[in-house]
Structure 1
């Protein structure tokens, strides 16, 4: 046996440590808890952090802190940032193919198709960042000497319950439109298959997405979602990954500060999406301005 073969036999396996992604950093769960993640055949894959209520509150603080800068960035710049995420995913495609295949019980070829679709989805939403305002905003005809202009603005901090079964394509499909329109997001990864989501945090950290714009938590969905639905500094919640019972409970909790709620619905994430998720977390600001001369020192429009 050669020295190289002996060395290979003596090496210890280096298992990956998955961590949360909060505020641009990778903390372990505040509680120190983890839970086992297995593939579709029951084989152990990794220990994922089991987030606590404290982790959820920390994620809200990070998302709120990042909101001003992200919402104030130009739509064109946000598009560049989202496209950069797609570039980074392309470079780590092999890793995500493996994780998606394990998570969803797919062949390598089918998992590769899913990952390709997810990367394309990032590019698709990147292209919408500076176009959605033309779709939902514009000039309004009014009776009087005024300009009346409506423009979209982001809702704020959004909590997203990622789809439980579509661990990567579904995940991307609910995150990308939220941040494309200037919101910041707290994502609760699929409870059963959180590893692609946690790996996505590593991609975001090495792309141009500012820390805190996307925060990713893993653990028991109901346990993490409850304090976020009731949190007074969360402005909206997407219940994509909630079952009927949990969705009803969270919707009641969200009503306390009039959060905007997107109810769970059957979605084929493989299909090209419309603009529904882009407009789900936008508010409309309307500005009136007089036309004509404004007098001395004024301007004409």
Structure 2
């Protein structure tokens, strides 16, 4: 049989929820097209795939999965989380060519420029993996008090974080907003770039075959506004990153999040994904726990609390 007679086997992209790959419960899909050049409008490039069009039910399912995974992930040692995240970077490196192709199509880049962005994304993932067991030393510490006590402040993860991924930076931007959430012990519900979701959906395949526990990361594709609204209003979502929202949507979501006292990270003009990321995102979704402890023993047995 000649090669010309073969039928192409197209990749089927699915959501990533609870460590599994469901289709949208609504059964809906939408066309994803390549970005030809510059600011080309969606639909002007070539067809790439049909991506799942997530529903509100999919968003709620993702929150349930993230909440279930929060205990095991936040309870793991910081060193162990770092090892798990580094393993993800190893697997991303092994699938480099696939991500280069998807990023080139998504962002209208040459192969060399797409390769540079994929390399930067992998490097950034490694960078955040290295922070897992160091962030407590930077943002925690001992506090001077007037009394015979130790007073210690330590960072703890906020909980379930809804992440609206950047719309234009389909992979480097995605890694830049997701990796710090995971490194600090949170679990995530990610809303992929609406126009260019394929690198995010492929990242789900990498996570599924790594050591990241199922439900730690959940990836949804579809209309950002449609998926983000129930996440902002959901009482079991503890925080939301509005990076992928435009100004009007960000304001709307921030109002919804205020009703249930979510921690909110507004989109920032300073989000240059090629720049040094600094500590901003590492500390965005951390809470501070303060513990008092007597400096001496209590009682004849020498026990303390």
TM-score (norm: length of structure 2) = 0.96
> Is the 8 Å Cα contact of residues 102 and 199 (structure 2) preserved in structure 1?
yes
Corresponding residue for residue 233 of structure 1: 236
CA positional deviation for 1:299: 4.1
Q: Are the structure 2 counterparts of residues 137 and 30 from structure 1 closer, same or farther at C-alpha, using a change threshold of 3 Å?
A: same
Of 114, 135, 139 in structure 2, the residue corresponding to residue 136 of structure 1 is 139
Q: How do 1:63-212 and structure 2 match up within 5 A?
A: 63-212=66-215
Q: Distance in 2 between matches of 1:150 and 1:11?
A: 63
Q: Secondary structure at the match of 2:195?
A: coil
Name the SS for the 2:7 alignment partner: coil
Determine whether 1:55 maps to 2:58. yes
8 Å CA contact 1:291, 1:300 repeated in 2: no
| Cα separation, 2, equivalents of 1:25 and 1:14 | 22
Counterpart-to-counterpart distance in 1, 2:232 and 2:264: 10
SS of residue paired to 1:258: coil
1:25 corresponding residue in structure 2 = 20
Partner of 2:41: none
Measure the CA separation in 1 of the matches of 2:297 and 2:133.
32
Q: Supply the distance in 2 between the matched residues of 1:245 and 1:66 (Cα, whole angstroms).
A: 32
How far off its partner does 1:61 sit? 0.2
In structure 2, what is the Cα distance between the partners aligned to 1:127 and 1:235?
A: 25
TM-score by length of 1: 0.97
How many residue pairs get matched? Answer: 296
Say which SS state the counterpart of residue 203 (structure 1) adopts: helix
1:134-156 residue CA offsets vs partner (Å, 9 max, x unmatched):
01101100000000000000000
CA RMSD of aligned residues (A): 1.0
Shift of 1:272: 1.8
Q: List runs of 5+ in structure 2 lacking aligned partners.
A: 37-44
Can you list the C-alpha shifts for 1:194-250, whole angstroms capped at 9, x where unaligned?
000000000000111000000000000000000000001000000000000000000
Instruction: Tell me the SS of whatever aligns to 1:152.
Output: strand
CA distance in 1, matches of 2:234, 2:300: 50
Aligned-partner Cα distance in 2 for 1:299–1:179:
37
Structure 1 residue ranges without an equivalent (≥5)? 1-5
